[in-house]
Structure 1
Amino acid sequence: MPSGTPGDTQDIGGPQVRRLRLQGESGVVPLARDFTRQALYAWGWLPAAGADQRAAAEDVLLVVSELVTNACLHAEGPDELLLACDNKVIRVEVSDGGTGQPAPRTPHRAGRPGGHGMFIVQRLCLDWGVVRPTGRPGKTVWAELGAPG
C-alpha cells in the first residue's frame, strides 16, 4: 500500500507502525478509535487477558479520542493518526495543520464542562509533547503509554 493510505502498516524489526490518513474524512473520532482498536487486536493488547490489559487498551483508545477531538476543535481537523508499538510502549501521534499549543487547562476544574482533554492525556501517559515541522505550518501532538504488565 502507498504510505498514508488507511490501514498502512510497517513491521520491519522495530516498532510496529500503523498510519491512518484522516484529512478530509468525516466522522474522524470513531474512525480513529476503530482503527486503533484493530491495531490493538493485531498487537495482542486485545482481547484483554485481565483487568490491567483491558484498562491499558481503554487508555489508548481514550488518548486517541482526545487528541483527534482536539485537532477537530482547535485546528482544522486531523491530517493523520500514527500508532507505533513495541513491547513496552505505544506511541500515538496526531498531525494537523493548526498553530495552537495544546496544554492542560490550569487550574483544572473537574466539575466544569469541556477542557479536560489534555489533562486526561497528561494523567494517562508516560509523556507527551508537540513537534512542529520546519518550514511549514502544523504540528504533531504525540503521547506515549506503557504496555500492560
Structure 2
Amino acid sequence: MSTSQSGLPQGGQFRRLALFGGSGVVGRCRDFTRIALLDWGWLPAADEEGQAVADDVLLLVCELVTNACLHTAGPERLLLHCTESALRVEVADAGPDRPRPRLPHQPGRPGGHGLHIVARLSTRWGVTVREDLAGKSVWLEIAAPSAP
C-alpha cells in the first residue's frame, strides 16, 4: 500500500463508528473524532490556524450528531474520511426528512443555528439519501489545515 506525504494511504483513510442508544452519543462521537484527528496529525495543531480547523471539526461533528438526536430517532453511524486535502464527516440516521436551515435565521433566538454553523464553517455540506436502508446521511467537508 503506498502512502502520501501526510502518511495517509492513497485515497485517504476511513473511520466508522456504529451508534446506538442516545445517552452520551455526542460525546462519544466527539472523542472518536478527536482520536482520529490525533492519528491523522491534525492534532496537536502546528499553529493557530490548524487548531482553529481542528476545533471547527469537533464542533461540526457535534452539530451533525445533535441534529440527528433532536430531529430523528438518533444517529446510526459516524463516518470520517480523511485525505491529504480534506476531511469528510457523515452522520447517518433513519429519518426520512432532509434537514433545512431554519429561515429566517435569527441569531438572537435560542436553537435553530446548527445548519447555519455547518454552512459557515464547512467547505460544503449536503444530504445523501441512503440506498441500502431507509434514511439519509448528512455530510460535510472541511479543508485540511495548511502545512506549516
Are residue 147 (structure 1) and residue 144 (structure 2) matched? yes
* Secondary structure in 1 matching 2:59: helix
- Does structure 2 retain, via aligned residues, the 8 Å contact 1:104–1:122? no
Are residue 82 (structure 1) and residue 82 (structure 2) matched? no
Give the corresponding residue for 2:49.
52
Task: Name the amino acid aligned to 1:119.
Answer: H
The offset of 1:135, in angstroms, is 6.7
Give the corresponding residue for 2:4.
none
* CA–CA separation in structure 2 for the residues paired with 1:12 and 1:80: 23
* CA–CA separation in structure 2 for the residues paired with 1:133 and 1:93: 12
* Secondary structure in 2 matching 1:81: strand
- Identity within the alignment, %: 57
Give the corresponding residue for 1:105.
102
Deviations 1:5-45 (A, max 9, x none): xxxxxx75311110001123531000000000000000000
Deviations 1:76-106 (A, max 9, x none): 0000000000111100000000011112111
Task: Name the amino acid aligned to 2:94.
Answer: G
Give the corresponding residue for 1:38.
35
* Secondary structure in 1 matching 2:63: helix
* Secondary structure in 1 matching 2:44: coil
* CA–CA separation in structure 1 for the residues paired with 2:64 and 2:101: 12
Structure 1's unaligned 5+ residue stretches are 1-10
Are residue 29 (structure 1) and residue 4 (structure 2) matched? no
Deviations 1:93-124 (A, max 9, x none): 00000011112111111110000000000001
Question: TM-score, normalized by length of structure 2?
Answer: 0.89
Deviating more after overlay: 124-133 vs 22-31: 22-31
Task: Name the amino acid aligned to 2:86.
Answer: V
Give the corresponding residue for 2:58.
61
The offset of 1:134, in angstroms, is 3.1
Q: 1:135 to 1:37 in 2, by over 3 A?
A: closer
Give RMSD over aligned pairs: 1.3
Question: TM-score, normalized by length of structure 1?
Answer: 0.89
- Does structure 1 retain, via aligned residues, the 8 Å contact 2:80–2:90? yes
Give the corresponding residue for 2:70.
73
